[in-house]
Structure 1
């Protein structure tokens, strides 16, 4: 079974995803970022370059020749992502094939559409028997 962590009440979903990506890759994990929307993928890529002024998170798009050896890979198709360690889902739906990952991270913003979509994903993960945990970012500091 896959470990699934929901981080909800994220004031800026992509910024929180950047923090979680940096934390995971800094801890030696290999991170696949699933961004089915090309605009979100480009924005996330740009944010990884600049969200921490004195840090760098090595990352490439899934089609890069360096994807297999880079700690963070961003892609719009799950099957194009080269590793199966950590998946950060920036889509609104449950991606087919997520089960191959050890850990799935879901970041949920405060808007009703985001929360409703996340509730649906949470139910589906639960129905499939995955290990779920929820983290309220309103009750945490530093993220």
Structure 2
């Protein structure tokens, strides 16, 4: 069963995502970054190349010929996904294919509308019996 972690009160979602990806990739996990908003994936693609000079984070956007061989995939659909270690959700809705993954990280900003949407997702997962954890960045 998929383990789900909610990271709450994240001030900069994209920068925080890059840090999570770096940590996960460093431990050998393959990562899928999900959003239905193309602009988010586009910004994240650029940021993953530039956010640190010390680390190389090999990634591609969905539809790329090397998607099956690349450990970090940015996508808005399940078509290109061939690995199921870690899914990071940057969308306001539950990823429709999340149950295929060992672990899902739900990122929640400080925005009240996003928090409200996250509560709906939390209830959805809880009602279905998924193991849930929360990490509040405001108290970290």
Please, what TM-score do these two structures have when normalized by structure 1?
0.93
Give the CA RMSD over aligned residues.
Answer: 1.0
Query: Counterparts of 1:67-78 in structure 2 under 5 Å?
Result: 67-78=67-78
Structure 2 counterpart of 1:38: 38
- Aligned-partner Cα distance in 2 for 1:118–1:128: 16
- Aligned-partner Cα distance in 1 for 2:89–2:82: 15
Q: Provide the secondary structure at the position in 2 that maps to 1:22.
A: helix
Q: Provide the secondary structure at the position in 2 that maps to 1:81.
A: coil
Q: How many residues align?
A: 140
- Aligned-partner Cα distance in 2 for 1:116–1:78: 26
Q: What's the offset of the Cα at 1:137?
A: 1.0
Kindly indicate whether the alpha-carbon contact (under 8 Å) linking 2:67 and 2:80 is maintained by their aligned counterparts in 1: no
Q: Provide the secondary structure at the position in 1 that maps to 2:138.
A: helix
Q: Provide the secondary structure at the position in 2 that maps to 1:44.
A: helix
Q: Provide the secondary structure at the position in 1 that maps to 2:82.
A: coil
Unaligned runs of 5+ in 2: none
Q: What's the offset of the Cα at 1:115?
A: 0.3
Structure 2 counterpart of 1:90: 90
- Aligned-partner Cα distance in 2 for 1:33–1:72: 8
Deviations 1:111-135 (A, max 9, x none): 1011001111001010111110000
Q: What's the offset of the Cα at 1:16?
A: 0.8
Unaligned runs of 5+ in 1: none
Kindly indicate whether the alpha-carbon contact (under 8 Å) linking 2:68 and 2:80 is maintained by their aligned counterparts in 1: no
Kindly indicate whether the alpha-carbon contact (under 8 Å) linking 2:30 and 2:71 is maintained by their aligned counterparts in 1: yes
Structure 2 counterpart of 1:133: 133
- Aligned-partner Cα distance in 1 for 2:139–2:97: 32
Structure 1 counterpart of 2:108: 108
